[in-house]
Amino acid sequence: MGLPWKRWGETDIMLALAWEQYEDETCPVCGEWIVECRDELTDGRWQVETVTDFAQAALDDYREQYGSEAMSGQLLALTLLKDGEAPRDGGGYDPERARAAYAQMRERLGLPDEPDDGA
């Protein structure tokens, strides 16, 4: 067909079909198997448990502390520190350095200076 990639082999097709079947059989609301979560016989037999996502907790804390200072186009990334390594305050975020890097990038791309919003 002249495509720049290889045609799918039988394994690719089988994996795609298996993924499609998995998605079809997984409830988009609760994430459990549809055959179980919608079965009346399971009514009253579901236990809700809470778990803590510590990575998400770190992101939530960061946003609470620095949320409004984030620059346009800036993404938050997580790094799992080595055992015994302590997180840097603010994840090493330095608003002044971030502003300078942002201005430098705009200059390199030939974009006009952003108007100072007085913040």
Which residues in this chain contact Zn ion in the complex, by CB under 5 A? Answer: 27, 29-30, 37
What is the smallest separation between the CB atom of 56 and Zn ion, expressed in angstroms?
22
Compute CA distances 84 → 53, 80, 91, 93, whole Å. Answer: 19, 11, 16, 21
What is the smallest separation between the CB atom of 47 and Zn ion, expressed in angstroms?
15
Compute CA distances 74 → 99, 102, 114, 115, whole Å. Answer: 11, 9, 16, 18
Distance CA(66)–CA(58), nearest Å, equals: 12
In the chain, the DSSP E strands lie at none
What is the smallest separation between the CB atom of 30 and Zn ion, expressed in angstroms?
3
Q: Which residue number places its CB atom closest to Zn ion?
A: 27
Nearer to Zn ion, 25 or 107 (CB): 25
Nearer to Zn ion, 37 or 59 (CB): 37
Nearer to Zn ion, 37 or 58 (CB): 37
